[in-house]
Structure 1
Amino acid sequence: MNITVRQIQAFLQVAAFGSFTRAAEKLHTLQPALSQQVRDLEAELGIRLFDRTTRRVELTEGGAEFRNIAAKIIEDLELAARNAHELAERKRGRVVIAAPPLLAAAIVPRAIAEFRQQYPGLTVRLIDARTDQIVELVRSGQVDCGIGTFHAGEDGIVSTRLARDSLMVFCAAQHPLARRTAVQWRELDGLSLVTLTRDSGIRLLVEVGFETAEIKLVPAYEVAQITTALAMVEAGLGVAVLPTYALAAARALDISAAMLEPGLTRDIALITRTGRSIAPAVAAFARVLGKYASGAVPDTSRTPTRKARKR
């Protein structure tokens, strides 16, 4: 069956006006062309849609039944087109993003707030999850995008860098390393260390730093969350090597932080599913998210040491 939208629109206008002439005027077309469209539609359907007289064009029984269906088809099509246009114009839609807990707290909420001001018709749903869970949520299509630090070459995802993150050493304000502009990895040898658990990508990067410096990593404490590590650092239980965006969680703590030399960096990235086109709403949110991701990673070349304010 080869029925076109133009044929259906021609049929509906003739049915509404009871006249081929007035329907052609309404559609800004010639009457012979309109009549041909209706004849072609009748041929495709295999029924006669109108009874034509010299004064009036009237629907047949089959034509009346088809009109109800055809009107609904055009209505649904117009709604679909309007919705698509609104999505393209970012007037409506939804973005579902997954992020690890600290990034979810430090970056995403402020990005959502600005995004909602720019695009009131768009909504954002945030899911906080582990990095491995984020990859699977994106890969399976359960979320539109994810933010975090991911292994290169993950199957089924496309990665876009938002910011470049570095490792810093965090210590209590009274610690000998406090207020230093920079700390060498070798200076961590023999210190009490608070580390993340081995399923953390940060922990693996820290291990690389220790191996490169040819010193042994012997954690005094292992915790799952960056916020827990920072609390233990403030309590004087040890120092911790954490990403620069951990400064966002250290603002209310009496903690100092300094860059580690030689530096180790990694990307904070936005990931989407391979082969899936990025919706206009997701693309718009990614731009706002990139702004806050960059803001969460301070310019350490200018301010290599940061003292968080006291409670």
Structure 2
Amino acid sequence: MSSKTLDTIKQVAIVGGVHGNEFSGIYLIKRYQAQPDLMTRASFNTETVWANPEAHYANKRYLHSDLNRQFKSLDLADMTLANYEQSRAKVLNAQLGPKGNARTDLVIDLHNTTSNMGACLILTQAGEFYNKMAAYVKMQMPEAIISRDEDHIAAQDHALMCTLGRYGVLVEVGPQSQSVLRQDILDLMHQMTQHILDFVQLYNTNTLPKLPKKTEAYRYLHSIKLPMNEQGERLGMVHKNIQDNDYQPINPSDPLFTLFDGTVLYYEGETTVYPTFINEAAYYDNNLAMSLNEKVIITLADD
């Protein structure tokens, strides 16, 4: 068992529907509202939040701007940012935050991706709590992917909704097409969310099992765009060897894109990278092809 926990998680929020056409999170919180015992643990209170209902009713990712990019502290304080999602971000900040002094100890933000990423736990910050959560979830769910994303960025500079809480994580599950439901994906989202809730209960009560000292994870490096001409027109697509192979290594000189004339473009980097959000439908408006990551190891300190 772990040494005594000085930190205590008292208030947890499970958030679905930040993006209106990502259905799993919306229907999972509906299930939890109907069956509250599924989200109830003895040592903390759990609430559910439907973040962007108007976008869902419109069957769109968002109405005016991506809600999950509106939560930098400076933007939350800027009253001139007042379109629907910018205003909705300020409402959520009042409800769950305020950011930097939040009443919510942990925000669990539920998302779908059209990419073949499986069940991913995305950590937005570094620290012992996150490291132990990653180790626990990976131990309970070996197929889970752990992403450290941009955990080196200060919380106030993060634009993601889950950074409203004192702690915040994303559960990102795919592949799932926009505006549909898939039982296997919804099951994975539920499974990972349950492991997170179980972890918090064990963390609060100092009853965590012995956790692995090292947990494999990935950290975001940068994103790359589809091949385009000077007019911004697409010239090609993700190479078939890359498609659906999220988190599989791309080595220097591996095929990366196929142009419409049949020409193959190769990865010109000097180190092996690991792609995520490959051909994510939501990112086509920016012509993003994929995100590239490095493999890292999360190491737990000795208790």
| Structure of greater Rg | 1
TM-score by length of 2: 0.23
TM-score by length of 1: 0.23
